[in-house]
Amino acid sequence: MSYSTLVTSLIDGIYTITINRPEKLNALNSIVLSELEHAINEIYSNPLIKSAIITGSGSKAFVAGADISEFSDLTKAEAIKLSKRGQDIFFKIENSGKPIIAAVNGFALGGGCELAMACHFRIASENARFGQPEVNLGIVPGYGGTQRLTKLIGKGRAIELLISGIMIDANTALQYGLVNYVVQEESLMNKAISILSVINSKAPIAISECIRSVNAVEDHSTNGYTIENNAFGESFDTADKKEGALAFIEKRMPKFIGK
Ligand code: COA
């Protein structure tokens, strides 16, 4: 399959998807989104593909965001539809049983940061920059950024990035846990390939089950607050809770029995 906005290759089981609009810093317009969805479907369906890399063309940008030029005439209903479409494609990346990693080779902003975060993990080149600058446009992230950024770097840092619109460099992203490695620009693809070569030698079912299990931590059908609420109630219905309270009052160490 040939694409107008993507370049793809399949070598030794590793499928590389390069978003190829360097003159627009690889911004995600509607064609890129459709082609990306098609390429992700290919990962699911092609048995020769064991794992995949998403990267951007050129040395300046991974993806500098959703294509702002397509925003001007969007109504509220259309914007909701676009956001849902982006979210669904990114869920497809996140839920792929075959590993999909982002090789971030420059600006990963807005939808670009969201795309990288939907991947199973990220490797960055030294010139990578991350951010959710939507607030600068008077809008909010729409492709899962508020959720995944918070899960990856924690609430305080996520809120700061979301409401300030500031960019962080690759080493700060490493420190925050947003990326697994920072490497020199010229080493980026080799690093991604060498990691995936190790992964590709492992059992495919075990790999997909690991991904499925990890994703279940943040199962979208589960409300973590409800689970915590019930767990709090359960813990109050134990002998250990009574012992714990009594020991505190009697100023001694508790003797817990696991009941
Ligand atoms: N959507 C559409 N076009 C974009 C784009 C985006 N998200 N990001 C960059 N481009 C285009 C620019 O309009 C410019 O096109 P032109 O040459 O036809 O004018 C081209 O890509 C190069 O970008 P430019 O702004 O000239 O590069 P720069 O080095 O001066 O700045 C950025 C780089 C990333 C800081 C800047 O492009 C930027 O802020 N982009 C928008 C980031 C953003 O807000 N993303 C979230 C969108 S919701």
Give the model confidence (pLDDT) of 146-187 as tens digits.
889 999 999 999 999 999 999 999 999 999 999 999 999 999
Mutate to test the pocket of ligand 1, among 5, 20, 24 (most ligand atoms within 8 A of CB): 24
| 55 CB-side CA count, 13 A | 27
Residue 114 a catalytic site member: yes
Residue nearest to atom 30 of ligand 1 (CA): 25
Query: Which is catalytic among the residues 35, 37, 114, 185?
Result: 114
Q: Ligand 1: distance of its center to the CA of 63 in Å?
A: 10
| 230 CB-side CA count, 13 A | 5
Q: Does residue 216 sit in the same domain as residue 186?
A: no
**pLDDT tier for residue 220 given thresholds of 50, 70 and 90:** low
Residue type for 67, please?
D
Pocket of ligand 1 (CB under 6 A): 24-25, 27, 64-69, 107, 109-110, 133-134, 137
The answer, yes or no, to whether residue 64 has pLDDT greater than 80, is: yes
Residue 185 a catalytic site member: no
Count of structural domains, the chain = 2
Q: Is residue 256 part of a domain?
A: no
> Which residues neighbour 45 within 8 Å (Cβ) at sequence distance 6 or greater?
none
Q: Does residue 176 sit in the same domain as residue 78?
A: yes
Q: Which domain holds residue 47?
A: 6-199
Q: Does residue 53 sit in the same domain as residue 74?
A: yes
Q: Does residue 167 sit in the same domain as residue 232?
A: no
What is the distance between the alpha carbons of residues 59 and 125, in angstroms, rounded to a whole number? Answer: 10
